[in-house]
Amino acid sequence: MTAVKLYPPRPDKVYLFGTCLIDMLYPEAGLDAVRLLEREGTEVIFPDDQTCCGQPAYTSGYHTEARAVARAQLDLFPEPWPIIVPSGSCGGMMRTHYPSLFAGTPEEARAREVADRVFELTEFLVHVCHLTLEDRGAPEKVAMHTSCSARREMGLAETGPALLAKLGQVELVEQERASECCGFGGTFAVRHPEVSGAMVEDKSRAIEAAGAERFVTSDCGCLMNIAGRLAHRDSTLEGEHIASYLWRRTS
């Protein structure tokens, strides 16, 4: 069961943990996350030495290697500011698994302290910033895909849809079996490509069948997987990280 998260008042400063996929494939999503936060009057600090949260090694069973990767992140956030992660997958790793990953080690207390300050981006915008949005975009039907980690590890099935509901010209359409996995799962897609491919085929067809003109998600792994499958099928339906979607429609 996901523990109840206590939300602080809106802070003057936050850290941003950018994630590997944003760094390598979707940098604009990271920049748009910064823009959204700064528009709310919050200064965003981006530690230059950040790398990976350690999840790929952790979910592959290499906990020693995962600790080595994660250990390098622990000292990057020395001030008591929230750590904003534009990914439920990486956010889930840091908030949910860091305490157990470092249990019994000299870094245990530090890992728990860092974990307590981790917030997924949509969670922070809804529950801390209490974000209001003025929609400047054209009418559009949109499907929201919430990643498994955001939904099940962080308990954030509603924050993405809550933000989209603030856009007056956006109709949020419900896809069949919305809570099902897209099949990415990090290294799962590499270890079990046939199963992953079947799952993302189901997911992409469900989004199309819902009548969506676009899909959005807060996880770049899911974005890459679903958008890639749609492109492979020559679909005109495109995907976008929710940070970029919100910024584009309200700036």
User: What confidence tens digit (pLDDT) does each residue in 67-125 have?
Assistant: 999 999 999 999 999 999 999 999 999 999 999 999 999 999 999 999 999 999 999 99
User: What confidence tens digit (pLDDT) does each residue in 82-94 have?
Assistant: 999 999 999 999 9
User: With contact defined as beta carbons under 8 Å apart, do 127 and 159 qualify?
Assistant: yes
- Say if residue 3's pLDDT is above 80: no
118-120 and 238-241 beta bridge pairing: unpaired
- Which fold is adopted by the domain 13-127? Rossmann fold (3.40.50)
Q: What residue spans define the domains of the chain?
A: 13-127, 140-250
Buried/exposed 162-180: b ≥16 CB within 10 Å, e otherwise = bbbebbeebebbebeebee
- Which fold is adopted by the domain 140-250? Rossmann fold (3.40.50)
At residue 5 the predicted structure's pLDDT band, cuts being 50, 70 and 90, is confident
Closest by CA position to 221, among listed 206, 200, 205: 200
pLDDT of res. 1:
44
